[in-house]
C-alpha cells in the first residue's frame, strides 16, 4: 500500500482529531494540521503532502486562500462542510465535498478517487484481501 501524507485544515478540534484518527486507520499519515486560514495557507504553501482535506468555513472565513495554495501546487484535495456544497468557492465547484462529520468509509472512497495511485483500505479490509 502506498501511504499518502495528508494536510488537514479544520477549525473544530474534535473533528480534526477524528480526521487524524481516520486518516491513520486508513493507512495514511497526517503531514500537518491547521485550525485557521492563515496557518492553513502557510502549511499548504510549505509542507510536503500528497493531498489535503479542507473545511470550507474556518471561524467564519472561507478557505479559498488555502484551496488556491493547494491547487497552485497541483495537489489534489477535498472539502469538508457542515453545510453541504454551499460555500464551495466558485473556482472549485468540481472538488469533492464530504459532509461533516464524515464516516471513515466516505473518506476512504473520496481518497481513492483523488489519490488514484494509493490503495486506501481499512486494516480489516487488508486482512480479507490477504487471506
pLDDT score recorded for residue 2: 77
pLDDT tens sequence for the chain (131 residues) = 378 999 999 999 999 999 999 999 999 999 999 999 999 999 999 999 999 999 999 999 999 999 999 999 999 999 999 887 778 888 999 999 999 889 999 999 999 999 966 544 444 443 332 22
Q: Which domains does the chain have, with CATH numbers?
A: 5-130 (3.40.50.2300)
Among residues 21, 72, 1, the alpha carbon closest in space to that of 64 is found at 72
pLDDT at 83: 82
Which set of grid coordinates corresponds to residue 97?
A: 465535498
Q: What cell was used for 43?
A: 502549511
Q: Where are the beta strands (DSSP E) in 27-130?
A: 29-34, 51-55, 57-58, 61-62, 77-81, 97-99
pLDDT of residue 124: 42
pLDDT score, position 85: 77
Amino acid at each position: 500500500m502506498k501511504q499518502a501524507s495528508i494536510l488537514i485544515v479544520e477549525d473544530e478540534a474534535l473533528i480534526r482529531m477524528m480526521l487524524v484518527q481516520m486518516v491513520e486507520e486508513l493507512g495514511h499519515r497526517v503531514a500537518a494540521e491547521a485550525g485557521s486560514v492563515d496557518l492553513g495557507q502557510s502549511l499548504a504553501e510549505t509542507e510536503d503532502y500528497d493531498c489535503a482535506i479542507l473545511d470550507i468555513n474556518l471561524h467564519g472565513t472561507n478557505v479559498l486562500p488555502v484551496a488556491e495554495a493547494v491547487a497552485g501546487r497541483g495537489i489534489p484535495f477535498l472539502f469538508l462542510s457542515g453545510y453541504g456544497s454551499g460555500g464551495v468557492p466558485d473556482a472549485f465547484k468540481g472538488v469533492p465535498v464530504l459532509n461533516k462529520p464524515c464516516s471513515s468509509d466516505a473518506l476512504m472512497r473520496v481518497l481513492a478517487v483523488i489519490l488514484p495511485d494509493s490503495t486506501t483500505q481499512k486494516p480489516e479490509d487488508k486482512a480479507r484481501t490477504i487471506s
